[in-house]
């Protein structure tokens, strides 16, 4: 359910959904990540907690990249608009718990 522009947007409006693709890549399970902003307001400069994140496949760094050992940026820190999700895949032994930890909200 989308919030109105009059409602408050926050980190809880950044949804991070992951699922196994069922594929094995370089001996590792492949996962698909979908990051969506469910608030009508734009959110940008989105950072996720990605402590320990690793992958054996390349990820487009404009979609998702490590800033340091604990944080990753989403969409090159550009806006993530409502219903325009950022999608990427990675492959590793485990599914990482990617949680939003920071964003800037822009409502007009």
DSSP 8-class letter at 50? -
Residue 26 to residues 50, 63, 83, 96, 99, Cα–Cα distance (Å): 21, 22, 32, 18, 26
Reduced to 3 states (helix: H, G, I; strand: E, B; else coil), residue 11 is: helix
The pLDDT of residue 1: 45
Q: What is the pLDDT of residues 17-48, one digit of tens each?
A: 999 999 999 999 999 999 999 998 889 999 99
The pLDDT of residue 4: 47
């Amino acid at each position: 359910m989308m919030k109105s522009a009059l409602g408050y947007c926050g980190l809880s409006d950044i949804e991070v959904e992951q699922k196994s693709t069922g594929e094995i890549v370089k001996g590792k399970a492949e996962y698909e990540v979908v990051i969506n902003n469910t608030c009508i307001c734009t959110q940008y400069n989105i950072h996720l907690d990605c402590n320990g994140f690793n992958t054996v496949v390349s990820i487009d760094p404009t979609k998702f990249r490590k800033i340091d050992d604990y944080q990753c940026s989403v969409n090159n820190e550009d806006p993530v608009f409502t219903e325009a999700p950022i999608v990427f895949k990675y492959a590793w032994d485990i599914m990482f718990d990617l949680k939003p930890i920071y964003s800037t909200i822009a409502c007009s």
